[in-house]
Structure 1
Amino acid sequence: MGDGDEDSSINIYPSREELPPLIAEILDEDEEVVAVAKTDLVGSSYGEEEVVLTNRRLMVLNEKIEICLKLSEIKMASLHSYVNTCVMSIDTIEGPRSLVAFTKARLKAFESLVALINNMAVGKIPYKLLKQHLLSRKELESRRDASSRVLLRLLRALRPAWPLLVTAIAVSVAVRLVGLVPPYLLKILVDEILIPRANIDKLAYVALGLLAVNIVRTILNTINSYLNTRLNVSIANTLRFRVFSKLQELSLSHYDKFTSGSLFSRVVDDVNRIQWFMTGSFAMLFINTSMIAFIGITLVTLSPQLTAIALTPIPVAVLGSTIYRRLASKYYHKLWRRWSKVISVVSDAINGAILIKSFGKEPEIGYKFSESLSEFEKAQLEVFKFEQKIWPAVGFAFTVSNILVWWLGGTQVLEERMTLGSLTAFTSYMWMFYTPIFNLVENVKSMQIAAVAASRIFEILDLDPGIEERPNAKDLCLKGDVEFDNVWFTYDGVHYALKGVSLRLRAGERIGLVGPSGSGKTTLIKLLLHLYEPQVGAIRIDGIDLRDLKTSSLKRQAAIVLQNPVLVDATIAENIALGKEGASPEEIIAAAKAARAHEFIMRLPEAYDTEVGTRGSRLSGGERARIALAAALLKDPRILVLDEPTAALDALTEDEVTEELERLTRGRTTIIIAHRLSTLRFVDRIVVMDKGMVVEEGSHDQLIKREGLYRKLWEAQLRGLVRVNQVSVSGRHAR
């Protein structure tokens, strides 16, 4: 959602009209097409085949059904990537077989298709659950309002700025109306003073009139500039605050769907585009319309015949604007997506500076940035080419009209059917008439850009927060009983991170959560802290569904220490104090001592007043971990989650912190995620996860006897220690 380009090579839940005719004919009554993916190769030659996944079978079509497999026959779907070709293969009951080939341009589509097949055939994901989330995602991706509706919504959103907007428009119209006076004074000067060489007394009045007009215009322009400055600030602050506030409300699931660059560009660039439109083009819509009306009346009074000629380009301009408005949005959406990618690369390069420099990847990130700029440039050129198909023809129509006016007008002057002053005034007014028309054409461009920017902003504002707190949610003092009841969860609607997890923790119980990387441990914790909502199942604390518990109540009584903690750009004391509002210096120091952080803090030149830098960059990984642990302990939580709490610590400090944790976690419901199993020596129970499921539970001794996954993990760590000892002994003998 949100950022990627539309991929036409896969269609999720296509309508019946979108289905290949052959498939529509053979579907059973209750059979549904889940996805259709198109290849760009047939064998080793360029061509197109269609892979159709239904809720019952998998088919390959190429004018006829080439392959048809029941889902019950499929053991696993997989992709194999070669130089520039990929192959999708299926492991069946009868053995493996290659299904289709395609280029890497279609890889993303077939990755999604393979994930869907494995979820349905191997993972046995409930079909209703899968369908619900796929349809929900498709609806979000396809929802895009027409530009007119988007702009009306934008105006409603900017209601606080209406008084300023109306005043600024009124002053701008007044400026333009005052500007209509000089051409009329010029007509008087030519026809009544210069050509007849008479009425010299009127010359002073004309000069004073021009001076008065300039003084009034200067005053009005100053007022207009002030109002526009106020309006700029008001619009930008209103929109940015709304978008930023919405981002704070959203669950982490939404952050997974957008790149950082996409969110930055919405808060900064898209708001700027709307700001420029509202303070410039939007006001000009009214100004230009007023100018066209007033000047049009003046032109008719000077020469109805020449006015008719001057009006001939208008239908061409209207037609061009209509075509532009209908087609432009797709070009600008693509352009802003490309710009979001540029911002994302910059953001990644800054945030990952240490990683990039340590691996010497500056040339690669430079190439990636250059590539994203090239893609943005191509999108800009596509917009330019599209515009050149419309606006030059419109401009040519105005040029022809102008030439005809001079030709016919000049003829009338020579035949003495029109005065030179009248023709001069007419041509001046004609260009004053054309200018707002040209501006209206430009306004259409600006309006389309603003409509795209507004739709991207409303895409954020329309998001459901993703965290449901029911109307009668309670604020309770928690004991710490935790229950996961048949919890299923997916980040993207396709790949399931948790599959039917059921787990019970007693109040005050300490459990260790172990398993291979990607087994779902951290996801389970995120759900417990209500950072995400499970798609199926329930999570209860003290028998109360999380949705019936106020989020503020949970956050006040639960704490987490992340594996790679990120600190805010503030002092050490302020970072620790995040754990408790209004914490006293004594409480902060006590928490730091409990986390074994006090000693290293006091060795710093400014001790607790030391600035930690962006994301805590001025501290080591172990120091950041101890600061984060101190903040969690300061909270005195009923539920404490520790994600690899000693991973960044040296062996001596790990031993000290582990002993301290054993003391500090007594009486608290504690979940410790650990790959280093020695950290779990004091826990009451160990829970083992694999592939999104709980596969084992028990004490260390019980799990060792079962010879399951836990024993494999334990023996792997022991072998590592044995290898270290052997290397150490060999080194001593060598010396």
Structure 2
Amino acid sequence: MSANNEDLKKVTQRRRPHGPGARMMPGEKAKDFKGSIGKLVRFMGQFKAALVLAIIFAIGSAAFNIVGPKVLSKATTELFEGLVAKVGGTGGIDFDAIAGIIAATLVLYLVSAACSFVQGWMMTSVSQRTCYGLRRAIAEKIDRMPVGYFERNSTGDTLSRITNDVDTLGQSLNQGVTQLITSATTIVGVVIMMLTINPLLTGITVLILPVSLALIFTVVKASQKHFRAQQAMLGAINGQVEETFSGHAIVRAFNREQTVAETFGKTNAKLYESAWKSQFLSGLMQPIMNFVGNLGYVGVALAGSVLAVQGVITVGDIQAFIQYVKNFTQPITQLSQVGNVLQQMAAAAERIFAFLEEPELEAEKPTAKAADVDCDVEFDHVRFGYDPDKPVIGDFSAKVRQGQTVALVGPTGAGKTTMVKLLMRFYDVDAGAIRLCGTDIREFSRTDVRNQFGMVLQDTWLFNGTVRDNIAYGKLDATDAEVEAAARAAYVHHFITTLPHGYDTVINEDASNISAGQRQLLTIARAILADRRMLILDEATSSVDTRTEERIQKAMDNLMEGRTSFVIAHRLSTIKNADLICVLQHGDIVEQGTHEELLSLGGVYAELYNSQFEEDGVEDE
């Protein structure tokens, strides 16, 4: 394998599936099992009564099921003694007594089934109500989270917490807790019932326990490394498939189909090797437990026959004891499986509560209400850094008059987009102030501030819905006529009419069924329809061709007339008519003025403008 393939292999092995389709890896463990379970129990405190009842019915189901063999053993004894008496000519079989015993046993099993049904219904209700509460808590938490969290963390990870982790927790809670209670109750109950029959036989049976545990731990220890390898290879497979599909055109363009297939084949072979070993070893658990259980049957049968001959126990007791031996080994196996389920539940709970405990936006106590009037915007010695020790904006001051168009220009990383985030209160300044109508925007609620702005960003965002719904997102109560007028103003109406269903055409989840430029036009139409007092345009025409850009620019000029507009632009030709151009460098304004004024200075702006002109000249040539 080439060096490039080796690098790809290392990358894909490190990667794990993410996003809505990602699942928690089986056997994944929580770092703080006790703490995570404690948080989950406290969250479920609101369902305490239902949970307690579910536990009571689970214990009841196990208890009635345990008593069954003991009662049924009396029928076996009655039948055996009656048969012996009939053969000896001293009596016969008392079928009425046997019928009464069987009826009593049937009642016990029916009650056990009823308890199991009620327990299952209540536990399912508790687990799903818990999932419902956690999803709602996460959704509400998202609204209270600072924008910085989502810039630091992947969207797929957040989605995984609200979908996969909650689902894993719900399934584990429903299965694991119930199984834990019934298995533990069964073991304790069976031991008690066996002791009431014969302590010696109980001692023989209990000897199975250490043998069972030793074999279980041996198998688990042997299979664990193969399970880890299996999950690592699954991650590698998923990473390779994801990268190959997303870059399918590149793979074809460079004729790397064979290389990709070989890389996938090697990873797939390793997955096969680890998967069959892990599944084979884990599959040994049941045969081993059956073998140990059969040893218990043999021991009980031998010792029981001797005790029966001596008249210490009855034949029915032996039959009941053999049933109890089976009931004793089965929950031991179940408990070993429950441990893994509970670990997954704790790991899911840990991820969920880690998100719910993330720092939130500070509680707002607005002291002012933004008036619905046009006014000035002032940046007063603004200082800000995503890391307080590394300021992005050093000392920014500017005053924007009502109705002016202000352009923010400068090299990449100068702080242009950061200024927009501060203006929208996605972040708050570290020092200085941004004033709207003379009032610090921190005195307004964030909702109040954002209601003043319409935005068109370089990164377009459209959702899975009709074209009409996507435009109307700027004004949810807009009429069809208003939506169409906004589309016309954005020069997108003609394109929409060419779609299969016009305005009712559905845009898919990633909006890949329309071009990047068309997506940009739709977001511009959305901003036009919103009709806010102030506008923020962040490279709003970056994804359209030159001819369309000119048409949109005219529409934007009409839209911005009379409104305060903040424009971030790299194409300096698009902001020639701005009332004020602020040139940023290292978070500070180094020049400001009109296009002509800044060109006459021959400074940073002139250098940027001329360099673009030269690049355009080279391209034209």
**Short-chain TM bin:** 0.7 to 0.9
1:353–1:572 CA distance, 2 compared to 1 (3 A): farther
- What SS does the corresponding residue of 1:616 show, helix, strand or coil? coil
* Pick aligned residue for 1:503 from 383, 397, 403: 397
- Residue of structure 2 in register with 1:470 after alignment: 364
Higher relative contact order (CA 8 A, sep 6+): 2
Hey, what's the Cα distance between the residues in 1 that align with 2:524 and 2:471? 9
**SS in structure 2 at match of 1:649:** coil
5 Å matches for 1:191-210? 191-197=77-83, 198-201=92-95, 202-210=97-105
**Mapping 1:45-444, distance limit 5 Å:** 146-197=32-83, 198-201=92-95, 202-213=97-108, 215-217=110-112, 219-227=114-122, 229-311=124-206, 408-413=303-308, 415-444=310-339
Gaps of 5+ in 2: 15-29, 84-91
1:483 maps to what in 2? 379
One-letter amino acid of the structure 2 residue matched with residue 148 of structure 1: K
Aligned to 1:722: 617
Q: Which amino acid aligns with 2:394?
A: G
Is residue 165–residue 231 contact of structure 1 (8 Å, CA) maintained in 2?
yes
Q: Deviations over 1:660-680 (max 9, x none)?
A: 322322333322111211110
Aligned-pair CA distance for 1:461: 1.1
Q: Is the CA contact 2:289–2:329 (under 8 Å) kept in the aligned structure 1? A: no
Q: Distance in 2 between matches of 1:380 and 1:257?
A: 35
- Asked whether 1:680 is paired with 2:584, we answer no
C-alpha change, 1:283 and 1:636, in structure 2 (3 Å) is same
Quickly say closer, same or farther: Cα 1:577–1:482, change in 2 above 3 A: farther
SS at match of 2:320: helix
> Using the alignment, how far apart are the partners of 1:372 and 1:542 within structure 2?
62
1:513 to 393, 404, 408: 408
**Partner amino acid for 1:264?**
L
Greater CA drift, 610-619 or 225-234: 225-234
Q: 1:410 to 1:222 in 2, by over 3 A?
A: same
Seq. identity, %: 25
- The alpha carbon displacement at 1:451 in A equals 0.6
Measured in 1, the distance between the counterparts of 2:40 and 2:227 equals: 18
Asked if structure 2 preserves the Cα contact closer than 8 Å seen for 1:262 and 1:343, the reply is: no
- Asked if structure 2 preserves the Cα contact closer than 8 Å seen for 1:511 and 1:672, the reply is yes
Give the superposition deviation at 1:561. Answer: 0.5
* Mean Cα deviation higher: 372-381 or 197-206: 372-381
Pick closer, same or farther for the CA change 1:294–1:265 going to 2, 3 Å. Answer: same
- Report the more deviating stretch, 565-574 or 153-162: 153-162
TM-fit CA distance, 1:225: 5.0
Q: Distance in 2 between matches of 1:708 and 1:386?
A: 74
Contact 2:70–2:317 under 8 Å retained in 1: no
Provide the rounded CA distance (Å) in 1 between the counterparts of 2:486 and 2:358.
38
Q: Does the residue aligned with 1:179 lie in a helix, a strand or coil?
A: helix
Aligned equivalents of 1:379 and 1:706: distance in 2?
A: 69
Secondary structure at the aligned position of 1:180 is classed as helix
Q: Which residue of 1 aligns with 2:87?
A: none
Letter in 2 for 1:470: E
Letter in 1 for 2:422: L
Q: What are the equivalent positions in structure 2 for 1:634-645 lying under 5 Å apart? A: 634-645=529-540
Provide the C-alpha distance between the structure 2 equivalents of 1:452 and 1:608, rounded to a whole number of angstroms: 46
- Match of residue 352, structure 2, among 432, 457, 461: 457
Of 606, 621, 625 in structure 1, the residue corresponding to residue 516 of structure 2 is 621
Q: SS at 2:451's partner residue?
A: helix
Q: State how many pairs are aligned.
A: 585
Deviates more, 1:665-674 or 1:284-293: 284-293
Determine which of 561, 568, 571 is the counterpart of 2:463: 568
User: Which residue is 1:98 aligned to?
Assistant: none
Q: Which moved more, 1:216-225 or 1:632-641?
A: 216-225
Alignment correspondent of 2:19 = none
CA deviation profile, 1:122-165 (whole Å, cap 9, x unmatched) = xxxxxxxxxxxxxxxxxxxxxx8732221121123234544544
- Provide TM-score, normalisation by structure 1: 0.67
Displacement after TM superposition at 1:295 (Å): 2.5
- Give 1:395 deviation, angstroms: 10
Whole-Å Cα distance in 1 between the matches of residues 354 and 226 of structure 2? 18
Rounded Cα–Cα distance in structure 2 between residues aligned with 1:595 and 1:148: 58
Q: CA deviation at 1:453?
A: 0.9
CA offset at residue 513 of structure 1?
1.9
Q: Which has the higher helix share?
A: 2
Q: Give the conservation status (yes or no) of the 8 Å contact 2:75–2:102.
A: no
Q: 1:532: how far off?
A: 3.8
**312-321 or 708-717: which moved more?**
312-321
Report the CA distance between 1:694 and its aligned residue. Answer: 4.3
Task: Identify, as 1 or 2, the structure richer in strand.
Answer: 1
Whole-Å Cα distance in 2 between the matches of residues 450 and 170 of structure 1? 22
In the superposition, the TM-score normalised over structure 2's length comes to 0.78
One-letter amino acid of the structure 2 residue matched with residue 656 of structure 1? R
Displacement after TM superposition at 1:415 (Å): 4.8
Shift of 1:452: 0.8
Would the aligned equivalents of 2:201 and 2:304 in 1 still touch at CA under 8 Å? yes
1:454, distance to aligned residue in structure 2 (A): 0.4
C-alpha distance in 1 between matches for 2:179 and 2:571: 66
Contact 1:342 1:369 in 2 (8 A): yes
Cα distance in 2 for residues equivalent to 1:482 and 1:375:
62
Q: Distance in 1 between matches of 2:590 and 2:560?
A: 25
The residue type paired with residue 578 of structure 1 is: Y
- The amino acid across from 1:172 in the alignment is A
How far 1:456 sits from its partner (Å)? 0.7
Secondary structure, in 3 states, of the residue corresponding to 1:689? strand
Per-residue deviation, 1:605? 5.1
RMSD between superposed Cα atoms in Å: 4.8
Cα gap change, 1:264/1:663 in structure 2, threshold over 3 Å: closer, same or farther?
A: closer
